[in-house]
Chains A and B, each alone.
Chain A
């Protein structure tokens, strides 16, 4: 069986009483997660949600989010985990664009979801954590999740879902501005999880930390990987309080610690790091941003007993490559080779395969490659192009790599101008569009500037309409009201006018120079 939720079924059959999820200090067994998932599946079916319908999840990293994922899968739906910091405006876009039939969320986030749900015609059902009673408003039903969980256990009706169906839509920043939904089938995610679990050598006695947001596929897969091998996933909402994360790791004897360089920097900077007993830890993984060589050394020194994996991936195919830990000292700047059951190579501008020792765009071939972007055939055609076999497609990553003589991959740069901040791809266009919505802003341009903690920090340049005095701080606040925090410019610079090309377009290279000169 190659359905994504077969991981849960398998774990329930093998170890029903084993802890599947640790959330807010509570341990939940596989059986319990299965029952919670069923309760959500039955509730959604009861509201007329059908196989193939999209259901959004707006929750922190909690047991409810995990139960919702598997509940949606069990009724044949397509789950979409949305960053809990998402504001009303963007949530409305995601619900509208996906045509979501339902939302699973919590009363605390009402400011973001209430207006969004009422604005989106298709979204008729909301399952609400932290709400005591069911309510109704403008044809929408708001059902208490606590009541749903409290009802006697009933299995959902068979959904008829097959592995060709979509399991998830993951919204990710694109160069065109608005985020786009990466369509992932059951087979895509099932295959990716199997390959990753295999090379990380995950086992059922692992306890995997997940403090990265579930809306970020790197976070989401910690849950999927744990379920894949019948292990335990330890959820934490964020790395806001590094000390709390370390205490949790000690308490729960975490064995796998997935992070990004920003997080490793925060942890390595703690003077008290040595006082935490992390002897259970055996694996640290890094992706989304390259590990600086100095940080590799620091991590090695702090955790000499740990296997350190340097990896590279794209939401469009989950993971691309990994560097076996024993290679890290030999080629520290490489992100390795393609993962098991996947083929990767470099191509020139005409799509011809390049030999080892070349520089070119990385392409990916495998069952993990997405089915395309939701309702965006043109964008899909730019990324998925014909592959070696008749009728198949391969993924064009948009990332330029070089290979050495032995085929090890080294990241060179991106073909588009996406910014990578805190490990997440950020579209300058989306931020610029937001800046233009401020009444005082005449021109706007956004670039990424090197930053020791974030990889790249977001820097905005604006010019103002005459007679509209605003401060950089006010513009930042405007962005905060509309964007998730990782997209808010860290610095806003007001200029009389922005540098232009001869054809009158804003010239970003000039801005980068300006940023460097000021620094």
Chain B
């Protein structure tokens, strides 16, 4: 597992529903699986900005970037260049 992925998993496990996180696949939608709700994404974005030192732009706040561990990892990698 990549470091980014591990850090994301750790953050989600620590801040959202633990029991749901254990069985969460990398591709599963965080919203569909009930792990993160709408305000949860606001928290998640703050985490990304602080922890990975990236800036999430308005137009980047979309499920394609944020709504699964795999999408998040790819997005963070892209942003970091």
Give the interface of A toward B (CB within 8 A): 84-85, 108-109, 111-112, 237-244, 270-272, 422, 454, 473, 477, 480-481, 485-486
Please determine whether A108 and B39 come into contact, CB atoms closer than 8 angstroms: no
Please determine whether A242 and B61 come into contact, CB atoms closer than 8 angstroms: yes
Please determine whether A109 and B34 come into contact, CB atoms closer than 8 angstroms: yes
Nearest chain A CB to B39 CB, angstrom units: 7
Please determine whether B39 and A422 come into contact, CB atoms closer than 8 angstroms: yes
Which of A85, A244, A270, A481 has a CB less than 8 Å from the CB of B37?
Answer: A85
Please determine whether B63 and A481 come into contact, CB atoms closer than 8 angstroms: no
Q: List the B side residues contacting A238 at CB < 8 Å.
A: 31, 37-38
Given contacts A270-B58, A422-B39, contact A244 B34 (CB under 8 A): no
Nearest chain B CB to A291 CB, angstrom units: 19
* Stretch among B2-10, B11-19, B46-54, B69-77 lining the A interface: B11-19
Q: How far is the CA of A454 from the CA of B61 in the complex (A)?
A: 20
Which of B15, B61, B62 has a CB less than 8 Å from the CB of A473?
Answer: B15
Q: List the A side residues contacting B39 at CB < 8 Å.
A: 422, 454, 485-486
Q: How far is the CA of A219 from the CA of B39 in the complex (A)?
A: 18
Q: List the B side residues contacting A108 at CB < 8 Å.
A: 32-33
Please determine whether B31 and A243 come into contact, CB atoms closer than 8 angstroms: no
For chain B, the count of residues having a C-beta within 8 Å of the partner chain is: 25
Q: List the A side residues contacting B31 at CB < 8 Å.
A: 237-238, 240
Please determine whether A243 and B15 come into contact, CB atoms closer than 8 angstroms: no
Please determine whether A243 and B62 come into contact, CB atoms closer than 8 angstroms: yes
Q: Contact mask B53-68 → A, CB, 8 Å, 1/0?
A: 0000111011100110
Please determine whether B14 and A473 come into contact, CB atoms closer than 8 angstroms: yes
Please determine whether A481 and B15 come into contact, CB atoms closer than 8 angstroms: no
Give the interface of B toward A (CB within 8 A): 14-20, 31-34, 36-41, 57-59, 61-63, 66-67
The residue on B at minimum CB distance from A266 is B42
Q: How far is the CA of A454 from the CA of B31 in the complex (A)?
A: 20
Q: List the A side residues contacting B18 at CB < 8 Å.
A: 477, 481
Please determine whether A271 and B40 come into contact, CB atoms closer than 8 angstroms: no
Which of A244, A454, A481 has a CB less than 8 Å from the CB of B62?
Answer: A244
Given contacts A108-B32, A481-B18, contact A241 B37 (CB under 8 A): no
The residue on B at minimum CB distance from A476 is B15
Q: List the A side residues contacting B67 at CB < 8 Å.
A: 241
Given A241-B63, A481-B18, 20 more contacts at CB 8 Å? A85-B34, A111-B19, A111-B20, A238-B31, A238-B37, A238-B38, A239-B38, A240-B38, A240-B40, A240-B41, A241-B41, A241-B66, A244-B62, A244-B63, A477-B17, A477-B18, A481-B17, A481-B19, A485-B38, A485-B40
Q: How far is the CA of A135 from the CA of B70 in the complex (A)?
A: 33
Q: List the A side residues contacting B62 at CB < 8 Å.
A: 241, 243-244
